[in-house]
Structure 1
Amino acid sequence: MENLTTALLIGIIGFLGPMDFAVGSNLLNRPIIMGPLVGLVLGDLTQGIIIGASLELIFMGAVSVGAYLPPDVIVGGVLGTAFAISLGKGVGAAITIAMPIAMLSLAIGNLMSIIFPMIAHAGDRAAKEGKAGGITVSMWSIGLLECLRRGVLCFLGYYLGSAQIEKVLNVIPDKIITGLEVSANLLPAIGFAILLQMILNKSILPYFFLGFLLSAYFEIPVLGVALFGLILIFITMKFDNKGINNNQTVAATGSGVDDDDDF
């Protein structure tokens, strides 16, 4: 009975994850939030924070861009953290569990997405008829189905899969688990590199190396570097705004000479 109650609470956490998109993208769906919640349910908040933060670094680049669908961070993060804590394993086990589960959940989500166009078409018909309520119902129906899918997968995965997962982890040699824990320390660097590849350009490259030098050679904490960068942003924006205002003034008043001088 206790296991059923715990599985229900884990399922509720999975259900709440996609609600992030309904309440303003407050990062509720990220492992760094889901992990501590799972830790609270399982009575080990500390491990929930540690594992959740580690999975967050690994899944940092798992963001939907264009047509790319990333692994299901919610189900993978929740079940990875839950199994690792309940089985007394560490970050390495959580990584081993989380990624395959995330990919499996993504595949199930792709199958379920077949019915979403039908719901969307119902919303289109409501829009043509001027029925705002029908549009709202279609939007929330898709969202709640996504919540339900994650909740059911997290519930069933934890309720039915703990024994099987334990058997799998016992078969895996300790050296592999230890290797995964070591690699977990390298994966954040890869995640940051992927993000930098998307945003890095010549204009911000000096600031990137400035932050690295401040941290590496002056041993300024990350928060201090972030505040220093914030000040630089305000200074840069102030000068840019002055340049824009000056250009607008010149454009409005002319170049300062009579038009006749151009002829």
Structure 2
Amino acid sequence: MIQWWQILLLTLYSAYQICDELTIVSSAGSPVFAGFITGLIMGDLTTGLFIGGSLQLFVLGVGTFGGASRIDATSGAVLATAFSVAQGIKPELAITTIAVPVAALLTYFDILGRMTTTFFAHRIDAAIERFDYKGIERNYLLGAIPWALSRALPVFFALRFGGEFVQGVVNVVKEYQWIADGLTLAGRMLPGLGFAILLRYLPVRRNLHYLAMGFGLTAMLTVLYANVSSLGGAVSGIIATLPKEVAANIAFLNDFKGLPMIGITIVGIFLAVAHFKNSQKVAVAAPSTSSESGEIEDDEF
């Protein structure tokens, strides 16, 4: 059962996250952040991060260019995490039965938010002609209301009145185990699909050596630090037999779980800095990278 205060907090977060995505861009509007916040409010961070991270990987290669709308994976993460925790639904099942359908459905609310905001945009145009700076500021802030409501209202009504419907769907799915198994498998495949979409639009052929090197480094560092972790486990067993004063000084040897990602992150930062410096040199030598026809090259895209 989802408590009233949880519904209130999740509704307020849903209203804020879209405004943050459009203005501040602090990543508070990302699916993984939504999973974290929802998991924190619902009392299950593991489920929240799993669902949010899975949806984040799913939309890696999806973007909004110009006035295009995309699936609302952030609201999908909020609802999937909330119902998964409240009703004991498997995270993989919650992703396919709740998150993905909700994310697709809320595309229409995104369009509605864009359309209603134009009312305030026209008022800003009129205020500019009058040199009414207070009016410009006021209508700019009022324009955030349709955007906030486009996320807050669907999330509120779904959390308040959708519990029985979701539970009914889950009960039907559980009656036919093969459907549940298929949906669970589909939920596990979504992050891979997101990577496939991302690789489809990246200039992979030109930078295939970087992709291969990244895969190799990930594999080697994972194996290397797995052995280090085993060593840490052995050392921790020895530490347990030592006096507490001595054990406290060398207890740090017991934690190696974060090392694989630390190593990969350091290598990634190095490559990013090297690529940035190289691109700066190229930009100085050739200011324009567009073709004569005006077509945007891969690096610009």
Structure 1 length as normaliser, TM-score?
0.81
Distance 1:213 1:84, change over 3 A: same
The number of equivalent residue pairs is 247
**Equivalence for 1:123:** 124
1:87 correspondence with 2:60: no
SS in 2 for 1:63: coil
1:159 correspondence with 2:160: yes
Question: 1:140 is matched by which residue type in structure 2?
Answer: L
State, as a whole percentage, how many aligned pairs show the same letter.
30
Q: Per chain length, whose mean CA-contact separation is higher, i.e. which structure has more relative contact order (CA < 8 Å, sep 6+)?
A: 1
For residues 1-263 of structure 1, the aligned pairs below 5 Å read: 3-21=3-21, 24-95=24-95, 96-172=97-173, 173-216=176-219, 219=222, 221-235=260-274
- Alpha-carbon separation, structure 2, partners of 1:242 and 1:212: 28
Asked whether the 8 Å contact 1:18–1:143 carries over to 2, the reply is: no
Structure 1, unaligned runs of 5 or more: 249-263
Query: RMSD value over aligned CA atoms?
Result: 2.8
Structure 2, unaligned runs of 5 or more: 225-259, 287-301
- Alpha-carbon separation, structure 1, partners of 2:79 and 2:91: 13
Asked whether the 8 Å contact 1:62–1:73 carries over to 2, the reply is: no
Deviations for 1:197-221, whole angstroms, at most 9, x for unmatched residues? 2222554221111111222356463
Deviations for 1:119-170, whole angstroms, at most 9, x for unmatched residues? 2111111112222222222222222221123112211110101011100111
Distance 1:228 1:120, change over 3 A: same
Question: 1:87 is matched by which residue type in structure 2?
Answer: Q
Asked whether the 8 Å contact 2:120–2:139 carries over to 1, the reply is: yes
User: Which shifted more, 94-103 or 214-223?
Assistant: 214-223
User: Which shifted more, 111-120 or 127-136?
Assistant: 111-120
Question: 2:13 is matched by which residue type in structure 1?
Answer: I
**Equivalence for 1:251:** none
Question: 1:38 is matched by which residue type in structure 2?
Answer: T
Question: 1:200 is matched by which residue type in structure 2?
Answer: P
Asked whether the 8 Å contact 1:35–1:53 carries over to 2, the reply is: yes
- Alpha-carbon separation, structure 2, partners of 1:185 and 1:7: 28
Asked whether the 8 Å contact 2:77–2:99 carries over to 1, the reply is: yes
User: Which shifted more, 103-112 or 91-100?
Assistant: 103-112
Asked whether the 8 Å contact 2:55–2:191 carries over to 1, the reply is: no
Deviations for 1:54-103, whole angstroms, at most 9, x for unmatched residues? 22222333431234311122322211111111110122232110122122
Asked whether the 8 Å contact 2:127–2:136 carries over to 1, the reply is: yes
